[in-house]
Amino acid sequence: MTKSEVTQADNRSIAYYWKAFRSNPWLSWPADIFLYAVILYGVYSWQTGHLIKADGTEPVPAFTAQTISGEFISSENFSGKKSLVYFFATWCAACNMSMSNLNALHRRAESGELAVYLVALSYETKQEIEEYVARHELNMPVILGTPQMARDFRIESFPTYYVINEEGKIISRDVGYSTRTGLLWRSGELGI
């Protein structure tokens, strides 16, 4: 047998085994699911890799900013009570879809040990934020974020949120849309 005949036989056997593998759903479905899970984990790691560590050792970045109601809030407000800080943009579709989930979390958390803060970034005017708040019927503090806050919190996409413990340390973080249950779970309000 010549070298090219051996190579052709090897190629045929690879193709044969690949076809047999793909035609058996008991083999191909778990492999496909595993492949999709690896891809999703890779995308998630890429999206969150630049964020501040959420292992309970990193303090919340220091800031002082004004809310749309005129009050001033600083990073010191996050000490003493667990807080969820949600960075959004008015043009962000995932942020728009998340607002009802945040309202529900805020209503549930009002009597508990969690404070919910929204931080508006990437906006033109305060009026734009006020209209957004009215449209979504938001009843939690909305902070007018600054470019410095975006840099300090390492915000590169929307929505991004952090959960801060009673000591002012970051204990959870995420990027993208989150369901009501996901927000409860990440904030520790699910009771698990």
**pLDDT tens string 99-134:** 999 998 888 777 677 889 999 999 999 999 999 999
Which residues in the chain come in under a pLDDT of 70?
1-12, 45-46, 111, 189-192
Are 77 and 63 spatial neighbours (Cβ–Cβ below 8 Å)?
A: no
Peptide bond into 59 cis (omega under 30): no
pTM of the model: 0.77
**Predicted pLDDT of residue 3:** 58
Cα-based distances in Å from 128 to 99, 144, 157, 170: 16, 11, 19, 29
Pairing of strands 160-164, 170-175: antiparallel
